[in-house]
Structure 1
């Protein structure tokens, strides 16, 4: 190991918490980490990527990216001034080593932000207690047994079934109850028809209960050029509070279940749909959601919101992501990197989280 001597380094040391793979290699979003390092160095700091298992009493072992050499170097260095949680999976976040790492930084008053992945149903419950945001949420229940799900389907006729811990549109189904009690289940690529709800439940009870699915009211969406679309809103905490960093549009193409690009959706410029009303709404929900998340779960310096517009012009909040994927819009992604690094520097300088939300 190389020991990094920071005695002559006046800038902050930013810790990026990642995970460890099967062969003890560090796993995480490497391209994202490299871009962060480039911007951090430009601002006089340096970042180290490490895992929960790498923490010692006064040092951590990790890797540092050197842009000039395009190379990662294994190092041992002091405890970071702040820690950005980018652990890539829920499974790793549920381990004792992650929980111990979180407590380690808490005990030393080291700012640790974006503390966890979000659970869809927990998120619904939190936001539904807000007097403003509750009106924008599709009705949602946790799938726990047959009868409550059937009553929910009877009420709304068309619903979505989503894994509470899912992402990227994976594992989402659309369920429709016909007048003759036939149940039609649409997936991303095909559909299944069941003679009644009992037949459907018999086949799907185990996977839905095992994977903690939720059921969500289906809202008929507004269309652009004949296809549904959603807003992807990127948000960060700044000196002015929680603010919108950028907004993108994702539109469905071959199927109507999800607009995620990885599952057949496409990207269209927000400018083609942008209105002052949209901008004001996004600013409002970002500010309120950021405050709620931070109050209930810990400080979230970055998150994204999936929102939409119904056929009758009503705004909908579908989901909040605590660890946003890369935005394909180059200008948004560049602004994201700059905004994050400014937040790193602010937290390191103050050595605390806003309102002491550690």
Structure 2
């Protein structure tokens, strides 16, 4: 195992916290880590990818990527100047190893970048503390029993059911109450009709209450572009002037109307196709307010992405915030993201 000598670098040592797989290998977003390393090295620093189990009292063991040789090398190095949390799953993040790692860096006053995943209901509650952001949130409840769910359904007639800790559009349903008291449930691939709420609940109680935590959310009739619903994907980063928009893209549904995620058949549209000054102002405002709210409530967030939309009557909606954004398919946005993150690492370690 190779030792890293920081005297060979003028910039900081960036620790990227990842996960460990069943075969003890490091798991995470390899292409993203490689691009970050290239930019960090260009600015005089170096990054090391490691897991919570790789931390010792004065050193960490991890892997570092060499752009010159296009390979990963096992290394030991001093404790990083800053840690970027990219642990890939909620399960790994909820384990004792991660909690111990978090406390380890906190006790040493080492900046810890993006403290944790966000669940949808906690996010709704946090954003509701800001009266401006609250005005853009669809009414949301946690599914805890049949009575409160059906009171919510009777109020709005059509609602969405979403796993509180879900991602990428998985496990989302649309639930509608018809005039004849029948209940219709629509998933990504199927549609089910139940003669009444009791029949529906008998079949779905286990899923909605026991398998995982679900939220219910008022359905918003979306604005359409070329006959299909679309959402905004907004990438934001911290800066000295507050939180700023790094880039924005559009995701549009194709074969179904439940989600615009590309993994579920959604397509990418250039933001420039529908860009307006009003959209730009909205993005800038919610990015700054959401970033400040999240950091106040949970710890410092250096980057996040926002899923937002527009209703058919022209009102803006905030659907979700992602604390660990996936790679943006728009190459120009992803390149700017890498550059912005690197500048932020340098700024937070006083290496600008």
TM-score by length of 1: 0.97
Contact 2:12 2:351 in 1 (8 A): no
Deviation at 1:8, TM superposition (A): 3.5
Residue in 1 that maps onto 2:323: 322
The alpha-carbon deviation at position 40 of structure 1 amounts to: 0.3
What SS does the corresponding residue of 2:215 show, helix, strand or coil? strand
Match of 2:203 in 1: 203
Aligned equivalent of 1:68: 68
Match for residue 20 of structure 1? 20
Give unmatched runs, 5+ long, in structure 2.
Answer: none
**Alignment partner, residue 310 of structure 1:** 311
Residue 9 of structure 1 deviates from its aligned partner by 2.5
Any unmatched runs of 5+ in structure 1? 352-358
* TM-score calculated relative to the size of structure 2: 0.99
Question: Deviation string for 1:225-245 (max 9, x for gaps)?
Answer: 000000000000012210000
Pairwise mapping of residues 41-190 of structure 1 onto structure 2 (< 5 A)?
41-190=41-190
d(CA) in 2 for partners of 1:281, 1:200: 39
Q: Which residue of 2 aligns with 1:35?
A: 35
Partner of 1:227: 228
Q: Distance in 2 between matches of 1:233 and 1:282?
A: 7
Structure 1 residues 238 and 195, CA, compared in 2 at 3 Å: closer, same or farther? same
Q: Distance in 1 between matches of 2:159 and 2:214?
A: 12
Matched, 1:268 2:263: no
Deviations 1:304-324 (A, max 9, x none): 000000000000000000000
Q: Where does structure 1 differ by over 2 angstroms across 4 or more consecutive aligned residues?
A: 7-10
Equivalent position SS for 2:255: coil
**Residue of structure 2 in register with 1:356 after alignment:** none
Q: Are 2:13 and 2:46, in contact at CA under 8 Å, matched by a contact in 1?
A: yes
Q: For 2:154, what is the secondary structure of its paired residue?
A: helix
1:103 partner SS = helix
Aligned to 1:295: 296
Distance in 2 between residues matched to 1:345 and 1:220, nearest whole Å = 43
Using the TM superposition, give the Cα deviation of residue 11 of structure 1 relative to its aligned residue in structure 2, in angstroms: 1.5
Question: What's the offset of the Cα at 1:350?
Answer: 7.2
Rounded to whole Å, the distance in 1 between the matches of 2:269 and 2:314 is: 20
What are the superposed Cα offsets for residues 305-353 of structure 1, whole Å, 9 maximum, x if unpaired?
A: 00000000000000000000110001000000000000011111179xx
- The CA distance in 1 between the partners of 2:254 and 2:91, in whole Å, is 32
Instruction: Report the number of matched residues.
Output: 351
* Cα distance in 2 for residues equivalent to 1:139 and 1:268: 28
